[in-house]
């Protein structure tokens, strides 16, 4: 069996006999449909009798036990008092102030320890990472300018000058 192309499949779908049959039946009048079903062996009188019996059974069941819907009234919405509005406003303001204070601490932060910065700079200089060494020494100078006279700092600055082209 050969494999069919997508174009062949689409063509078969578009030319489907089922579509043609549906259109033919929909174009019929109700009387023509009844005659065709009768000619096909369907007993329309018995089908109508069964449908009527089913309808009567459903109708009786509805009358015996009608569908009851319990409707529960919704409570009336409570009015917000001025006190509630003020309380909510104060809580929101407190949260806002706390947020601002926390973000300021993160931005401002504490000043780094100059001795740690200088130790990191000495390690960077010893490893010939000159840009890191200079950066750490400059940060330490910004925090503690008086520490620039330390002999190790002077030696590190001298090594930086000599390493630069």
Question: Has residue 108 been placed in a domain?
Answer: no
Mean pLDDT across the stretch 98-110?
Answer: 64
> 10 Å Cβ neighbour count for 129?
14
Which residues, other chains included, contact 154 with Cβ-Cβ below 8 Å and sequence gap of 6+?
148
Assign residue 80 a region (left: φ > 0; alpha: ψ between -120 and 50; beta: otherwise).
beta
For residue 69, the model assigns a pLDDT of 64
Average per-residue pLDDT in the chain? 80
> What is the arithmetic mean of pLDDT over 91-105?
74
Q: Which domain, by its residues, includes 140?
A: 114-163
pLDDT of residue 67: 61
Residue finishing a domain among 64, 95, 122? 64
User: How far is 131 from 159, CA to CA, in rounded Å?
Assistant: 12
- Report which of residues 136 and 98 the model is more confident about: 136
3-state secondary structure of 76: coil
- What pLDDT is attached to residue 141? 92
pLDDT attached to residue 160: 87
Yes or no: say if 136 and 117 are a contact pair by the CB < 8 Å rule. yes
The answer to the question of residue 3 being in a domain is no
Number of domains in the chain: 2
CA separation, residue 156 to residues 49, 104, 133 (Å):
109, 34, 8
Taking only the tens place, the pLDDT of each residue in 112-159 is 788 888 988 898 888 888 889 899 999 899 888 888 899 999 998 998
pLDDT at 98 over 70: yes
Share of the chain above pLDDT 70, in %: 86
* Structural domain contains residue 152: yes
């Amino acid at each position: 069996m050969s494999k069919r192309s997508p174009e062949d499949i689409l063509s078969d779908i578009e030319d489907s006999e089922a579509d043609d049959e549906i259109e033919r039946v929909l174009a019929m009048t109700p009387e023509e449909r009844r005659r065709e079903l009768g000619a096909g062996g369907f007993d329309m009188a018995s089908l109508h009798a069964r449908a009527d019996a089913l309808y009567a059974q459903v109708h009786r069941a509805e009358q015996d036990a009608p569908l009851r819907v319990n409707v529960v009234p919704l409570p009336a919405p409570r009015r917000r008092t001025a006190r509630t509005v003020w309380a909510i406003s104060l809580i929101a303001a407190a949260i806002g102030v706390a947020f601002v204070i926390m973000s300021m601490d993160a931005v401002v932060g504490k000043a780094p320890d100059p001795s740690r910065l200088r130790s990191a700079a000495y390690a960077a200089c010893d490893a010939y990472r000159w840009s890191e060494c200079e950066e750490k020494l400059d940060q330490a100078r910004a925090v503690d300018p008086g520490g620039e006279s330390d002999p190790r700092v002077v030696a590190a600055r001298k090594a930086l000058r000599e390493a630069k082209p």
